[in-house]
Every structure is written in structure tokens, then in C-alpha cells.
Amino acid sequence: MTGAVPSNKEIAGWALQVIRLLYPEQSTKMYTFVHQLEAEFKKLEAELRELLHFTRGSEHKDNELIAKTFFNDLPELYRMLNTDIQATFAGDPAAKSEFEVVRAYPGFYAISFYRLAHALHKLGVTLIPRILTEYAHSKTGIDIHPAAQINDHFHIDHGTGVVIGETCVIGSHVKIFQGVTLGALSVSKSLSEAQRHPTVEDRVVIYAGATILGGKTVIGEGSIIGGNVWLTKSVPPYSKVYHTHEVSLLKEKIKD
């Protein structure tokens, strides 16, 4: 830190250091002793305090307490990320190892930044979480708002073009593919405090290109949403929603 307002790249660099300490598979540094790791975490905690100060990311709040709480809660964040790794490895036949997931998968990269950003968001930090998720968005094409609530064992397959909105609620063991949008029906500023984005319950699979909109839209537990489906209404648990061949034929007749 130089004493000046840090750039977005510097802020993202801090987050990358946290992630690489948790997952040395992404790092070239090696630590032999526990006290070396402890010293690194302490350094990053001090850097977070500075980031909070210079970005005014938590005005009228105790930056020291926020930084300390974030690092005290890091074991839970690590636990959640491990469930995401497990879900990705179990859910993708192409994955040869969990090491590969950590090192190479854009879905895990984006989820890592989201989980870190969400932890800061819950502590009342505003700007830094958005910078972090937008940085991951720029690297992966996966756009997850830091305020979205996403439970454990989350798997994004491929991922490019995924959008998960601010008030989205996602349960456990959910798998989504590229091009999925969990968005709002309205972008009116008057609805900023309302739930504008869908709720996706446990063990749902959403295939590529599906668009699910609206704060009152609930995808019931165990449902499967097919590719390119457009949904603005809730579906009950264990539903299968997909385009049929008959619909495709009807569209061809209309063209004729």
C-alpha cells in the first residue's frame, strides 16, 4: 500500500493473495512453518484495514473490527469453497482432479471471488465487494453480485455469460451452465430494497441459455430447467421445464 487510493487491480490483488493462501495450488510460494502462514494472514488483515480506509468502503464503521472479523470467519469461507470444489469435481465428468478445479476452472475462480466479496458485504462493506466480483466478471465472463445469497456445493459449468442478480437466493447443490440469467423483471429504482431476482431451491439444475426472472419466481427443489427456457413464474419442486419438438414445429409453420 502506498497511502494513495488503491486501484481496482490492487484491490483484486489483495483478494488473490487471500485465495492463494487458502489454495496454494494457485500460488508459486511455499510455506514450511505455520507461523509463516500466520504472518501472511496478519499482513493481509492489515492491508484490508488500509483498503477499507482509503476506499471509504465502510464509512462510520470500525475498519479494524471488520478486518479482524473477516479473517476470524475465514475458516467458514474456506469450508464453503471446499464444498464448491467437491460439487464441481463430482458434477463435471471432464474434471480429472480437485487440483484441476482449483487451478483451471473459471467457475471456481468466479465463485472464490464471490464468496470473499459476499463475506465483506455481510460486514457492511460496499465498494470493495463490487470491485472484486466485477474483476472476476472481467476475467471469466461470470457476473455474480456480491449481495446474492448462495449456499454450499455450488457448481457453475463452463460459465461464460452467467448473470446472478443482487437479490437472488440460491440453495445447496445447485448446478448452472453457461449463459444462464437469474435476473429481474423490472429495473425500477423504486424497487431497490425489494427482492427482484429469483429464488432457486436445493438440487436444481439449470441448463445453458435459460433466463429466469422476477423476485416472486421460485424454482422448486430438485427441478431441471432446460436450455434456452424463459421463465417468469414459479415451478413446483421436481419439475422439468424444457422446449418441446412440437413447439419448434409450430414456430416453423408460423414462418411459412
Q: Give DSSP secondary structure letters for 228-255.
A: T-EE-S-B-TT-EE---HHHHHHHHHHH
Superfamily designation of domain 161-256: Hexapeptide repeat proteins (2.160.10.10)
| Chunked mean pLDDT (size 10), the chain, 256 residues | 78 96 78 78 94 76 92 97 98 95 96 98 94 97 98 97 98 98 85 88 98 97 96 96 66 50
Return the pLDDT at 189: 74
Which of 180, 184, 193 lies closest to 143, judged by CA?
A: 180
- The region, left, alpha or beta by phi > 0 then psi within -120 to 50, assigned to residue 109 is alpha
Sequence ranges of the domains in the chain: 1-141, 161-256
The whole-model pTM stands at 0.90
Q: Do domains 1-141 and 161-256 have the same CATH topology?
A: no
Distance CA 201, CA 222 (A): 8
Q: Is there a contact between 196 and 177 (Cβ–Cβ < 8 Å)? A: no
Per-residue pLDDT, 249: 46
Q: What is the C-alpha separation between 154 and 92, in angstroms, rounded?
A: 12
Contact 48, 68 (CB under 8 A): no
Instruction: Record the cell numbers describing residue 215, joined without a space.
Output: 423476485
> CA–CA separation, 167 vs 21, rounded Å?
30
Class of domain 1-141: mainly alpha
Q: Where are the alpha helices (DSSP H) in 23-61?
A: 34-55
Report the alpha-carbon distance of residue 110 to residue 116 in Å, rounded: 10
By three-state DSSP, how is residue 235 classified? strand
